[in-house]
Amino acid sequence: MKKIILGLAIAAATLTTSSGTDAKTTISIKEIVSAYLQMKNAFTEDNSSGAATAGKKLEAAFKNFDKSALTSAQKKIYEEVEADAREHAEHIGKNGGNIAHQREHFELLSKDIYDLVKAFGGGQILYKDFDPMYNKGKGAFWLSETKEIKNPYMGKAMLTSGSVKEEIK
């Protein structure tokens, strides 16, 4: 039920923000997106401590996010995502040295960041990429700033595995 309501709220916010999101909000989202991308890039290099550093940065970006410029529909979406995303960022931040566990959180975090980017815009073109093999063949997606595939779940073992599913403008 919660998912359905969130879906509707996102659809509503997309309609109201397509004419232009407040500049301040875009900047705050950009900090969240940039910390997420830093984390994703660390995972592509199997860099667990780099991912942990980015996790702490992402947690801070959420903490510093200015909600005052949001419309009530945007605020609703943000608040739906925030607690969950912060928890994943925190666990990734605390689990340097345990990259398998960090990647489990990264998969769930990617869903949250995707919802935010769809509602607020990412401040840059982003690609939704999909790896069909992660999680025993269940598959998982991530967001990237480049069209070229660099897989954060497989890292160096299978860096180019996966494909672009969506271009988010």
Q: Which is nearer to Cu ion, 105 or 118 (CB)?
A: 105
Q: Which is nearer to Cu ion, 30 or 86 (CB)?
A: 86
Q: Which is nearer to Cu ion, 12 or 108 (CB)?
A: 108
CB 45, CB 86: distance < 8 Å: no
**CB of residue 54 to Cu ion, shortest distance in Å:** 15
**CB of residue 86 to Cu ion, shortest distance in Å:** 13
- Rounded to a whole number, what is the largest CA-CA distance in the chain? 44
Residues 6 or more apart from 138 whose CB is under 8 A from it? none
Looking at residues 36 to 95 of the shown chain, list those that interact with Cu ion (rule: CB under 5 A): 91
**CB of residue 101 to Cu ion, shortest distance in Å:** 6
**CB of residue 98 to Cu ion, shortest distance in Å:** 9
Look at residues 102, 147, 109 and name the one whose alpha carbon lies nearest to residue 128: 147
Give the DSSP H or E segment for 128. strand 126-131
Q: Which residues bind Cu ion (CB under 5 A)?
A: 91
